[in-house]
Structure 1
Amino acid sequence: MEVRRLRLLREFADRGSIGAVADALHMTPSAVSQQLKVLAEEAGVALLEPDGRRIRLTGAGQALVLRADDVIAAVERAQDEMASYRSGHASVRLAMFPSGASLLLPDVLTRAKSSGTDAYAFHLDVGYAEAATALADFDIVVTHRDERMPTRTDPRVAVTELMREPLDVIVARTSDLAAHRRVTVSELADRDWISVLGGFPVDDVLQSISALTGVAPRVTQRMLDFATIESLVAADHGIALMPRHAARDPGVVRLELKGVRAARVYEALTRPHPRAAIAAVVDDLAAVAADVARTP
């Protein structure tokens, strides 16, 4: 079996359709289909089967994808090692959600550079359930989840927990709540909330708090950017849940939630058995996150 065909099979597993694989690899759909057909002949068993108007992996196809991950990882480790001998540098593509990148990325890039790794970072802000699909394009995906949500279990994804970041309530400095250090959910029942879009971490936490306490939040605005949320809170348009290290606007006051554990957990996702350079950047992420977590 040729490695390039195994790559095509893995791309299909990651992207879900022949057309998406063709687009990603700048091939024609017929060329992709032909190469997967040859791979099936080499394997001696069907790898794809109809699924309504689409096609999906058979059980044998799923099993071969797992082996393909191992083979491709071994080849990439060898290529990375040879590249480091030639140039002294290895490269890693890293995707992170924006607030996590703001917090961790500067020191991670410094550490990676000092060890001879060229780390190329990109913003990626998707829900936790979709984060692993980005491994089709990136070596490392840093994501976050509500601490009450179980971590993902997938034989094709290795998960490294980086840190737990508490979530606090932020209110305007002019608010009647600003003098409090701690507040209960019931004390916030009649307040307007500003949150992120539904399905994203932090809003998930807000909804789980609601389920635990029976107090439904009245969300009046939804924004994608924490800086915008803070600006609206500072202008007294509502209150918000904010990751502790993301709250920076001088116009807001941070209050601890009393009687409720609320936090988001940072995770680094990779393929199992990653290249040495990828594993080293994950170690850098863990070290920087540990330093941040020790900060009050």
Structure 2
Amino acid sequence: MDERQLRILRELGELGSVTAVAEALLVTPSAVSQQLRLLQRTLPVPLTERQGRRLVLTDAGQALAAAAVDVETALARARQAVEEFVGRADAEVSVAAFHSAGAALFPPLLRALAAPGRPRLALADEDVPQEDFPRLTRVYDLVLAHRLDHAPPWPATVGATTLLREPLDVALPAGHRLAAKRRLSPRDVAGEPWITVHDGFPVLAVIDAIAAAAGRRPRLAHRINEFAVVAEVVAAGGGIALMPRWTMRPHPRLVLRPLGGVRARRHIDVLCRPERTARTAVRTVLTELRHAARAISRRDTEEEGAAEGAG
């Protein structure tokens, strides 16, 4: 039995005929009769009987119709509870991010949502191989994920919003011989020792592209995922590395140089299950993430313009 069938049985008890029920529910009499037959199949006792031309409820039918009132009341309360949950502007929203995105986007997000009545954040760091990010949407409302510019799109089972398309530059110690060049090529950097990520993480594909363009395989001296640690190892002379241009804080002993000849850019995307965005609080957080991302890219554009003007 389902809610619609119970509603029809209840209306039949009150209105006294299939035709009257059909008119009240804006359906055909045959549709009413069909639903009553389906309901009857689920129960071992008759629910209706004929009294002349009228179809009336048996004692069992009257008992079930009375119980249907309680069912409809409980369902109405359940719907109201869901509506209140979906509509709450100050509900908790869980957000996970890989490390550099969290460092860049969590602080402005917290500041934007600090006022009373705004969503309450539950933040987490999750740095996983690219193919594992969609699975995190089972646990978190919003997941900040990264993939390379030319990588396959995320699966259709999750919604994806691109926040940033961030260049990946070559990080060098400030005194490195290549630091004097404004732009580097794969041949320039292929012979250097490299600090790069573990297998399965998207930055590694750029190293493969450098190897293909330069005709030689770079030596991978160190495997470190956390960019803040990478920056310190580069500054200490441990090798060179690819670093995100916008989401990492400038390091006083490093220089970043753009890399030509290969596609060195990553997407920073927000992944979520489509049903999560039905919630007002989740949509609010997603909007603020977009604002924070735009501020980051706008700040970089303004800094580049100021540098060109000074030059």
TM-score clears 0.5: yes
Correspondence for 1:289: 293
TM-score, normalising length from structure 2?
0.66
Superposed, which structure 2 residues align to 1:113-192 within 5 Å?
113-114=114-115, 116-154=118-156, 156-192=157-193
Percentage of matched positions with identical amino acids: 33
**2:18 matched to which residue of 1?**
none
1:111 aligns with 2:112: yes
Q: 1:248, CA displacement in angstroms?
A: 2.3
The match for 1:225 is 226
Offset at 1:211?
Answer: 3.8
- After the TM superposition, list the runs of 4 or more consecutive aligned residues in structure 1 that deviate by more than 6 angstroms: none
One-letter amino acid of the structure 2 residue matched with residue 91 of structure 1: E
8 Å contact kept, 1:143–1:266 = yes
2: CA distance between counterparts of 1:131 and 1:119?
19
Q: Is the 8 A contact 2:171 2:241 kept in 1?
A: yes
Residue from 275, 281, 284 that aligns with 1:277: 281
Match of 2:70 in 1: none
Q: In structure 2, how many angstroms separate the alpha carbons of the residues matched to 1:232 and 1:178?
A: 17
SS of 1:178's equivalent?
A: helix
- Contact 1:193 1:240 (C-alpha < 8 Å) held by counterparts: yes
Partner of 1:45: none
Deviations 1:92-147 (A, max 9, x none): 00101111011111111222333611011100000111001111211111100011
1:48 corresponds in structure 2 to none
Mapped to 2, the partners of 1:207 and 1:110 lie a distance apart of 39
Cα offsets for 1:217-245 (capped at 9, x unmatched):
21110112212211111122211011112
Indicate the residue corresponding to 2:95 in structure 1.
94
**CA shift at 1:216, angstroms?**
2.2
Alignment match, 1:261? 263
Deviation at 1:194, TM superposition (A): 0.6
Max Rg structure: 2
| Residue deviations 1:185-240 (CA, integer Å, cap 9, x gap) | 11112110011112112223322343455442211101122122111111222110
- Partners of 1:157 and 1:282 lie apart in 2 by 15
Matched residue of 2:150: which SS?
A: coil
TM-score (norm 1): 0.69
Q: Which residue of 1 aligns with 2:240?
A: 239
Q: CA RMSD in A?
A: 2.4
What does residue 28 of structure 1 align with? none
- Contact 2:190/2:214 (8 A) holds in 1: no
Aligned length: 221
Inter-partner Cα distance in structure 1 for 2:142 and 2:112: 16
Runs of at least 5 residues in structure 2 that lack an aligned partner in the other structure: 3-41, 43-78, 301-311
Cα distance between partner residues in 1 of 2:114 and 2:81: 20
| Inter-CA distance 179–137: structure 2 relative to 1 (3 Å threshold) | same
Matching residue of 2:194: 193
Aligned in 2, Cα 1:131/1:76: closer, same or farther, shift over 3 Å?
A: farther
**What amino acid is the match of 1:288?**
A
Contact residue 159 and residue 269 of structure 1 kept, 8 A: yes
Aligned equivalents of 2:237 and 2:175: distance in 1?
A: 7
How far apart in 2 are the matches of 1:120 and 1:150?
A: 29
Write the distance in 1 (CA, Å) between the matches of 2:180 and 2:150. Answer: 30
- In the other structure, the counterpart of 1:78 is 83
Give the superposition deviation at 1:173: 1.2
SS at match of 2:178: coil
Q: Does structure 2 retain, via aligned residues, the 8 Å contact 1:194–1:229?
A: yes
